Amino acid sequence: AQKVTQAQTEISVVEKEDVTLDCVYETRDTTYYLFWYKQPPSGELVFLIRRNSFDEQNEISGRYSWNFQKSTSSFNFTITASQVVDSAVYFCALRGDTGRRALTFGSGTRLQVQP
């Protein structure tokens, strides 16, 4: 069985602070894919990043960065210099490579960035 845990239910920061959203996953698959999605108040899930299990390079995209550590089964997401527009619910998701196409989502972390 696959499982994704996002232990932080809600985080509140002040604009320009850095914030890290945690994601811990469980899978028996040797090859798997990890994702982060953003869900603003409008409700649509917006794709942010995909990471393959065989590629442990960290990635930076503007103010966003991701730290993938296979040894601790974690795929954490950091927003640098947060902005009010970053306020949303962020979901981490996992898909294995054994034929099933379903994504397994965590319960999400609600980020509130105060001006």
What are the residues binding another protein (CB under 8 A)? 4, 33, 35, 37, 42-47, 50, 52, 91, 93, 100-108
For the chain, how big is the Rg over CA atoms in Å?
Answer: 14
For residues 42 and 115, which CB has a smaller minimum distance to another protein in the complex?
42
CB of 92 to another protein, least distance (A): 9
- 3 state SS of 70: helix
For residues 55 and 85, which CB has a smaller minimum distance to another protein in the complex?
55
CB of 94 to another protein, least distance (A): 11
User: Is 12 in contact with 28 (CB distance < 8 Å)?
Assistant: no
Residues 6+ apart with CB under 8 A from 103: 35, 93, 94, 95
The rounded distance, in Å, linking the Cα atoms of 4 and 104 is: 7
For residues 3 and 16, which CB has a smaller minimum distance to another protein in the complex?
3
CB of 44 to another protein, least distance (A): 4
For residues 63 and 100, which CB has a smaller minimum distance to another protein in the complex?
100
User: Is 77 in contact with 66 (CB distance < 8 Å)?
Assistant: yes
CB of 91 to another protein, least distance (A): 5
